[in-house]
Structure 1
Amino acid sequence: MSWFSNQWNRWSQSAPSAWSDVEWLDVVYGRQRYEVSLPQIQGALTLGHLRQELASVFSLPVQQVLIVFQGMFLKDDRVSLRDYGLQSGSRITLVARDAYAQQAQARAQASRAAPQGGAAGGPSAPSGESLPTAAPTMAPVARGHASRGAPPAQESGAGAAAPEAPAVPESTSHLQQIAQVSQHCQRVLVPELELLEKTVETLPDAPAGALQSQAPPDTASTGNEAAIPPQRIPLTQRKLSELLLRELLKLDGIPTDSEEVRNMRKATVKEIQAYLDRVDAAWHRATQAKGIVSDV
């Protein structure tokens, strides 16, 4: 453990908490890892407790603390750490809100500048190592175009000037980024949304407010495990809502520098909003007709 880790770890891990259910976490901040002990309180620790503790340990304002766990930003301070799936020793990523916004803006600028930098034959793509793995990536397509400009410079004669790679219009890069958002939703998020809808539909009816723990009949009888356990339906609903909202934020960062980009972004926003409506509809049916209880 580094000297900085020892400084940040204010409580010894050898003194376990008498009350708290999560005693310490493995925190990734920038390129360093820290073992942070959590305060001892009676009852369950919530995300709000964790944010306040990390703000104190790392000298950040509480409103600047963003927490990523298993590829998802945790937002609701009222939810307990256990309900988020955290336990002693779980690894989370700490991101400062201002730094995250600045890095997102830098990636967007790099996306616009990369095609022109490709003529030099040696563009340096931003490493992004200080970002959490779940952070939106704004410039994969532009970096690919820039790298394809390198081979002509290497093949040219010693005295010949390197031919310039054809510049990719910014609007084309923006269209590609919008298409990537739509494709990601359709490939990754829509299948889980459809599974949520199917699981809710096959659950037996139960009065609102009942604690539903019974598996769907078709899953219990056929041994098919492709359904979401009833107790995980609230977490699935929150996760899908947050991931879809994250895709909307990606679209917000794409400039509408042409009518074509504006229309495509508008259509993709409507597409994602339709997915969010389906998540809300499935959740409403789960709580009103299937006895699923919110864990918040």
Structure 2
Amino acid sequence: MSWFSNQWNRWNQSAPSAWSDVEWLDVVYGRQRYATHSNCSYQVTLPQIEGALTLGHLRQELATVFSLPIQQVLVAFQGLFLKDDRVSLHDYDLRSGSRITLLARDAYVQQAQARAQKQAQNAPQGTAAGGPSAQDAESLPSAAPTMAPVRTGAPAAPPAQDAGAGAPGAADAPSHLEQIAQVSQHCQRDLVPELELLEKTVDALPDSLPGALQSQVPEDVSDEARIPPQRIPLTQRKLSELLLRELLKLDGFPTDSEEVRNTRKATVKNIQAYLDRVDAAWGRATQAKGIVSDV
């Protein structure tokens, strides 16, 4: 069981008031690698921990989700960079559903320098061009995190490929196959059991009016065999998001190897089937069991 899943199970069995209530954020990634258009956003579910979530927790989670070193993670909110990892998200006025911007430090600095150079070239001779690079560099948070990492075992960012290197060939196939196998194993080991628990919980619920089950006071008991009705919407969002993350991991694999292509295709098909099961369980919960969305 992963760190994230362990934290989720602990939170799922405890009273909601014991945990931070910033559950998810709308993230616009400045380097939209997987987006089909600019300003596409992702709903990122935050880890549930005792006490207040801080900027450090947020940066660590973003580093994991988007495969960035934590030193490269820059977070902007309402036009300002958030700098102190020790400050809580509430003190930054962040709430569930708030929209933030994620930027990669090196890419941002390079873009700022390119803009400054272009302005300098276009400026009339003898006129000082207003270059954003110096100002931007001063406004950036420190590259080193100001607090210890909040969790271990986060996947490392994929190594950058040399621009002059040729297309990956047969020699790279074993490593690609291993990475695809890791995605498949993670889904089966960590996500499918939670999916089965969601299906079991939904099927066991009695028919109810919309919102009736969710309005009941949570029982102060630990029951690993079910999910409280209040947490079913968040469980559905969490599983959908984590499964989509695994699909995104498969986007960058080459298709010149038939073995890699066929293995990737089969894994994608399996993950899509898991997503269909999540949607089907959510459909049964909303249509027959009275569960309503909390967003």
TM-score normalised to the size of structure 2? Answer: 0.48
TM-score normalised to the size of structure 1? Answer: 0.48
Larger radius of gyration between Structure 1 and Structure 2: 1
Q: Which has the higher contact order (CA 8 A, sep 6+)?
A: 2
